[in-house]
Amino acid sequence: MIIAKTSKDLDRMREVGELIAEVRETLRLMVKPGISTLELNTTAEKMMRDAGAIPTFVGYKPTGMTPFPFAICASVNEQVVHGFSNASPLKSGDIISLDMAATLNGFVGDTATTVAVGEIADEIKHLIEVTEQCLVKGIAQCFPNRRVGDIGWAVQEHAEKFGYGIVRNYTGHGIGRSLHESPQIPNYGRPGTKEKIRAGYVFAIEPMLNLGTYETKTLKDKWTVVTSDGKPSAHCEHTVAITAVGPEILTLTKKQKAALSKPKMELAAA
């Protein structure tokens, strides 16, 4: 069952969304050659706890898995998702995907971004840009009466124009009091299929694009997912509420919301 949120629930989800967005943007600014993913993890966990929130990923344990040990998933280069933080310094030319979630007042916000470390190759820069464009295209489908398959189709259609592999084994998801709620939101699909989207639903939309094959495998730690061909992978994610008039991105910082509000007003007047 897909849980529709009340307006009070949405207020709480806005609050946690803004918090986790502030964490994401803080980490983005910290990424540079020489910093370790462990340092990024420590900062993220401190920001969440200082705000009275719980780092949702710490101890997260799907059936049959060991508990996830970190506040963020830090996935470098060919790592797709669920990478472990460690003390080795990032190098110029690496890319780092940072996925994070916080729980505040009983609700979860989930967001991810891929950041270049120093100077990266143009083909990897392009992969990240297209991943971000896919996220925007997926979010643009989040209107009442459209379908979950429309989101996957929008992402897939754009990614495949450039020949990128779309990860199949991991998907976006409903989100609310739990990190993972119904429905699953694949990054591929056909328009007009799957669940009908309704106002009050909140979705975590998260395209994962690979430079090469879409196939992935999991490392011995049972968590870290890597591309099967060892080529780089990018990932970005927003938590998005579906309102009567369309999508509202919950995982934006105060500053990002302020920058958005002006063009939105102009759009409404047009």
What is the contact surface with Mg ion in residues (CB under 5 A)? 110, 204, 206
- Smallest distance, Mg ion to C-beta of residue 110, A: 4
- Smallest distance, Mg ion to C-beta of residue 233, A: 15
Q: Which CB atom, from 120 or from 247, has the smaller least distance to Mg ion? A: 247
- Smallest distance, Mg ion to C-beta of residue 101, A: 7
Q: Which CB atom, from 120 or from 188, has the smaller least distance to Mg ion? A: 188
What's the chain look like in SS3?
A: CCCCCCHHHHHHHHHHHHHHHHHHHHHHHHCCCCCEHHHHHHHHHHHHHHCCCEECCCCCCCCCCCCCCCCEEEEECCEEECCCCCCCECCCCCEEEEEEEEEECCEEEEEEEEEECCCCCHHHHHHHHHHHHHHHHHHCCCCCCCEHHHHHHHHHHHHHHCCCEECCCCCEEECCCCCCEEEEECCCCCCCCCCECCCCCEEEECCEEECCCCCEEECCCCCCEEECCCCCEEECEEEEEEECCEEEECCCCHHHHHHHHHHHHHHHHC
- Smallest distance, Mg ion to C-beta of residue 57, A: 10
- Smallest distance, Mg ion to C-beta of residue 70, A: 15
Q: Which CB atom, from 94 or from 110, has the smaller least distance to Mg ion? A: 110
Q: Which CB atom, from 72 or from 120, has the smaller least distance to Mg ion? A: 72
Q: Which CB atom, from 130 or from 236, has the smaller least distance to Mg ion? A: 236
